[in-house]
Amino acid sequence: MREISIPISDEIIRSLHVGDPVELSGIMMTGRDAVHKWMIETFVKKTRQPTDNDSQVYEEIKKYLDGGVLYHCGPVVSGLDTKQYRFVAAGPTTSIREEPYQADVMKHFHIKGVIGKGGMGAKTLQGCAETPGIYFHAIGGAATFLAQTVQKVLGVYKLEEFGVPEAMWVIEVRKFPVVVTMDSHGQSKHSLLEESSRKVLDDLLARPY
């Protein structure tokens, strides 16, 4: 198991390959559908005018995302009334929902790692090669275990606007376990599995009955 600290350099990103198990430590940020849509419309394609709050949040999150990691996660969080936030559950969200946005978000913010489950498509794989970056696969069904790696909640953005699952939570993690399933060299474990599964299905369908 390779231990990697966030922020991550391009050199380390290029040294990682599909199948490598990794433990991540450092500061990362969560972001799902609402976050990606907001980023694209407001700052990448600029199809909507940013508010003063948007611009302030943008400047704040840039420092976490430059060389950083974005986690597709809708956490369960305690302490909402007292703002003594603690992650109770922190399982990965299915990542393919962010496929229309992910590559552009990675390039714009210089994000080095994306964490989720289920993998992503060709556009994101190309983005991993160009940024460069990595798609890390997290363990589905282990939300409570993964929450235990969260040492501290450092802040949250767009909580009132997006709600708890969709807000941008800034967290400090220690030894967060993931596996590289899409690398910066154009390799994707997910596309290989899809191809092999399709071959098995085609063989089954071709059998006479």
> Which residue is catalytic, options 17, 36, 137, 190?
36
Query: Rounded to an integer, what distance in angstroms lies between the CA atom of residue 169 and that of residue 159?
Result: 9
Establish whether 108 is a catalytic residue: no
Where do the H-state alpha helices sit in the chain?
10-15, 33-39, 52-65, 102-109, 122-130, 143-147, 159-162, 189-206
- Classified as helix, coil or strand, 78 is strand
Query: Rounded to an integer, what distance in angstroms lies between the CA atom of residue 111 and that of residue 125?
Result: 13
CA 104 to chain centre: 13
Residues 6+ positions from 206 with CB-CB distance below 8 Å:
none
Residue 94: C-alpha distances to residues 71, 131, 176 (Å)? 11, 22, 18
Catalytic residues: 36
